[in-house]
Structure 1
């Protein structure tokens, strides 16, 4: 069995019954899956009690650790889960992972391994909206199905599923149950971007931000830049903005080696998915940086540049639109300079925005054999 790191344990949502509660362990990847797991611990007992017949209570316990990557038959995952089930005397185990799972043409949102009493849920398959509510429904559906025989699972008419998900009983594995996500590819990509949390990229770009602010300060006090900005129309200003954002994203990808290529552990479909999520994540993150720079530069120029002096340099009356035009152009110039400053960032901080890097870290692990380390 593969080794696993020491986990952090919390207990939530305890329920009691005369025969004692059924213990469900929840193992979650760090980050978004862990946050969702702790919320589930509070709400899942009541939901399971409503789904199940009888007065049995539920005790949900959460552990946070880096789950192993996919393997045939979930062998590596089961090797990691088995000791914890025995030590904690768990009746069932729910694994919340941020790895995409394969379910044929449609992404696999969740899977019940009936013989092992293990439920595997892929957080990215749920997209970027109503995440908690949908995951709670799928987990409740699969945990409840674990207590039923295969015929009852296939014929069951009521369901806890919320959103565009459907239940499938594999013909070759009738003891298992799959939950597939419709409109899956775009939803999966949105879920991967959300799991990357692009808004957290901005604090990691401190070097780029410093270079951009220095450039912006120079631009604001340079009258020739004022005149150039005044001559540019909206179309050219948009082109300058798109170029600046694209240059920053391209520089981050190239400088920090974020572009994935097919290899022994990643096939072409995975590479396309990971690269798309990385580009979108960086674009959103750099867009947030651009918006912040725009606000800072606009406030600075409004404070420093007197309307009369501004008007004398442009040769026509000025208003708010002229100040915003200058701020817009100055922000684009500043962001291009910021791209050069991004080369001084901590590589690990920036690489966390790349799904492929985290998956490669999971697959290779610290010893090249296991991906179950607790780094994020």
Structure 2
């Protein structure tokens, strides 16, 4: 048995590299035969309605004539029949397509291997099916359409949150946070004033913990709304059929930016806290805020409030460091270059 694993660039290809050897071992063990797994990294195109363009997949497979079975592991979030589509098997083509985001943010190696083995079983004749590896409880195969097409949908209740978390993880929000260096510089310059102005010390001392947390959350929310609006990251469905899919896209965009900005905010708090511990004398602070002694929590309150001020006053007006970063931020942005134009060999 010779299996070809095709993966999209980025996170899908890294996951394939991590499980390739284990997958090959499972094939040999379960089918008691020699097995070889080849891998390649290719970008799968889509049609204007975001359905897979299978002709481009056929062109990729044509370069591997010895492959008996093909699994395409794509970063495209798939959604049909109002449910997240985990995998689709086309027996006539000996091809299975697995969607990485529908597996969730923490798709373990075991889960991924179980899906791959299940796809292999679905592509083989009944007498050759291996029974050792069964599906997880959150999905089941069903027949769909003609030519023996089989689909594996996630359950409606758990599939949606798992899809959104998987899309958010695929956006790699912590990596994107590093692309906000201009915003971090502007916020740091503004937030640093909190170290030198005693009025900020007094205000942070008299504010309750709940109010300080609320101020920080509001600052993060304002920054997220600004980034979405200035970079036009909010998408609208072109028709009613795509409304639920676009809702998932927008929700994952919001969650991605929340993690980005929260990481930025945490960096600001840590930086300002370190600066205040070095610069502000404890006795002088105690005199200003009217306490016998200054505590560590007083320094933390100053850093928290100063970071909120820096995010709101300093980072607004900033954006990502490079336009290319914005184009790769969300799933919709990454899908646009994949759209296949009929009658040509180009994408738009």
Q: How many Å apart are 1:51 and its aligned residue? A: 2.6
1:68 aligns with 2:41: no
1:173 to 146, 152, 162: 146
**What's the TM-score, normalizing by structure 1?**
0.83
Give the distance between the partners of 2:233 and 2:340, measured in 1 at CA. Answer: 16
* Mapped contact 1:85–1:91 kept (Cα < 8 A): no
1:343 to 302, 316, 319: 319
Q: How many Å apart are 1:203 and its aligned residue? A: 0.9
* Mapped contact 1:247–1:339 kept (Cα < 8 A): no
- Structure 1 stretch 233-242 or stretch 338-347: which is displaced more? 338-347
Give the distance between the partners of 1:94 and 1:181, measured in 2 at CA. Answer: 19
Q: How many Å apart are 1:314 and its aligned residue? A: 1.1
* Mapped contact 2:85–2:99 kept (Cα < 8 A): yes
Give the distance between the partners of 1:264 and 1:190, measured in 2 at CA. Answer: 24
Give the distance between the partners of 1:65 and 1:216, measured in 2 at CA. Answer: 45
* Mapped contact 2:45–2:340 kept (Cα < 8 A): no
- Aligned partner of 1:3 in structure 2 is none
Give the distance between the partners of 1:122 and 1:201, measured in 2 at CA. Answer: 22
SS state at 2:79 partner: coil
- Aligned partner of 1:234 in structure 2 is 209
Q: How many Å apart are 1:344 and its aligned residue? A: 6.1
2:103 to 126, 138, 149: 126
- In the alignment, structure 2 segments of 5+ residues that lack a partner are none
- Aligned partner of 1:116 in structure 2 is 93
2:178 to 203, 210, 213: 203
Alignment coverage as a number of residue pairs: 343
- Aligned partner of 1:11 in structure 2 is none
1:137 to 93, 109, 114: 114
Q: How many Å apart are 1:338 and its aligned residue? A: 4.2
Cα shift readout 1:262-317 (whole Å, capped 9, x = no counterpart):
22698212221111110011001111111121111111101110001111211213
SS state at 1:108 partner: strand
**What's the TM-score, normalizing by structure 2?**
0.90
* Mapped contact 2:48–2:340 kept (Cα < 8 A): no
Give the distance between the partners of 2:266 and 2:167, measured in 1 at CA. Answer: 23
SS state at 2:81 partner: coil
